[in-house]
Structure 1
Amino acid sequence: MSIALHHVSYGTRELGFQLSYSARRQTVGITVLPDGRINVTAPTDTPLEQVQAAVLRRASWLVSQLQFFASVPAPVAPREYVAGETHRYLGRQYRLRIVSLVEEFKSEVKKPVEAEGVLLRGAYLNVYTRRPQVPDHTRRLLERWYADHARRRLTERYAHCAEQVRRYGITAPEWQLRTMPTRWGSYTRAGRILLNPRLIQAPTACIDYLIMHELCHVAHPHHGPEFYQLLTRLLPTWPTLRARLNKYS
Structure 2
Amino acid sequence: MNKKDSIKACGRTINYEIVYSKKRNKASIVISPDLKVEFRAPHGISSETIRKMVSEKAEWIQKKLEWFEVNRLPDHKKQYCEGEIYLYLGREYPLKIIAFDDVKEPIVSVKDSELNFVVPKKDSEDTLPLLIKKAVWNFYSKRAEEEVEKVLKVYSKKLGIAPPTFKVKHQKRRWGSCSADNVLRINFQLVMAPPEQLEYVVVHELCHVIEKNHSARFWKLVKQMMPDYEEYRKSLKKEGWKYML
Question: Could you state the TM-score of these two structures normalised by the residue count of structure 1?
Answer: 0.64
Shift of 1:78: 1.0
The number of equivalent residue pairs is: 184
Shift of 1:200: 1.4
Equivalent residue letter for 2:79: E
Cross-structure match for 2:136: 142
Residues 41 and 175 of structure 1: CA distance in aligned 2, closer, same or farther (over 3 Å): closer
Root-mean-square deviation (CA, aligned residues, Å) is 3.1
Shift of 1:125: 0.5
Q: Write the deviation string for residues 3-35 of structure 1: whole angstroms up to 9, x where unpaired.
A: xxxxxxxxxxxxxxxxxxxxxx9xx93243533
Q: Say whether the 8 Å CA contact 2:30–2:40 is kept in structure 1.
A: no
Instruction: Provide the secondary structure at the position in 2 that maps to 1:232.
Output: helix
Instruction: Provide the secondary structure at the position in 1 that maps to 2:26.
Output: strand
Which residue of the other structure, out of 229, 233, 239, is the alignment partner of 1:242?
A: 233
Alignment partners' CA distance in 2, 1:180 and 1:142: 16
Cross-structure match for 1:152: 146
Residues 132 and 228 of structure 1: CA distance in aligned 2, closer, same or farther (over 3 Å): farther
Alignment partners' CA distance in 2, 1:86 and 1:136: 17
Which residue of the other structure, out of 13, 26, 32, is the alignment partner of 1:30?
A: 26
Residues 97 and 248 of structure 1: CA distance in aligned 2, closer, same or farther (over 3 Å): farther
Alignment partners' CA distance in 2, 1:220 and 1:135: 43
Alignment partners' CA distance in 1, 2:73 and 2:158: 33
Identity %: 22
Residues 159 and 78 of structure 1: CA distance in aligned 2, closer, same or farther (over 3 Å): same
2:88 paired with 1:120: no
Alignment partners' CA distance in 2, 1:225 and 1:41: 23
Residues 175 and 32 of structure 1: CA distance in aligned 2, closer, same or farther (over 3 Å): same
Alignment partners' CA distance in 1, 2:225 and 2:178: 18
Q: Say whether the 8 Å CA contact 2:204–2:222 is kept in structure 1.
A: yes
Q: Write the deviation string for residues 196-241 of structure 1: whole angstroms up to 9, x where unpaired.
A: 2222112222221111100111222222332222212222211110
Cross-structure match for 1:79: 78
Equivalent residue letter for 2:117: V
Instruction: Provide the secondary structure at the position in 1 that maps to 2:92.
Output: strand
Residues 183 and 113 of structure 1: CA distance in aligned 2, closer, same or farther (over 3 Å): same
Alignment partners' CA distance in 2, 1:40 and 1:150: 31
Alignment partners' CA distance in 1, 2:29 and 2:181: 22
Alignment partners' CA distance in 1, 2:124 and 2:136: 13
**Structure 1: gaps spanning 5 or more residues:** 1-24, 44-69, 106-111
Equivalent residue letter for 1:248: G
Q: Say whether the 8 Å CA contact 1:165–1:215 is kept in structure 2.
A: no
Cross-structure match for 2:119: 129
Q: Say whether the 8 Å CA contact 1:29–1:42 is kept in structure 2.
A: no
Residues 155 and 41 of structure 1: CA distance in aligned 2, closer, same or farther (over 3 Å): closer
Residues 132 and 201 of structure 1: CA distance in aligned 2, closer, same or farther (over 3 Å): farther
Equivalent residue letter for 1:163: K
Q: Say whether the 8 Å CA contact 1:118–1:125 is kept in structure 2.
A: yes
Shift of 1:171: 5.0
Q: How does 1:166-185 map to 2 (within 5 A)?
A: 166=160, 171-185=162-176
Question: Could you state the TM-score of these two structures normalised by the residue count of structure 2?
Answer: 0.64
Alignment partners' CA distance in 2, 1:185 and 1:82: 29
Cross-structure match for 1:204: 195
User: Which structure has the larger Rg over C-alpha atoms?
Assistant: 1
Shift of 1:242: 1.3
Alignment partners' CA distance in 2, 1:146 and 1:227: 30
Equivalent residue letter for 1:184: W
Q: Write the deviation string for residues 100-127 of structure 1: whole angstroms up to 9, x where unpaired.
A: 23xxx4xxxxxx6564201211121010
Q: Say whether the 8 Å CA contact 1:118–1:145 is kept in structure 2.
A: yes
Residues 74 and 191 of structure 1: CA distance in aligned 2, closer, same or farther (over 3 Å): farther
Cross-structure match for 2:178: 187
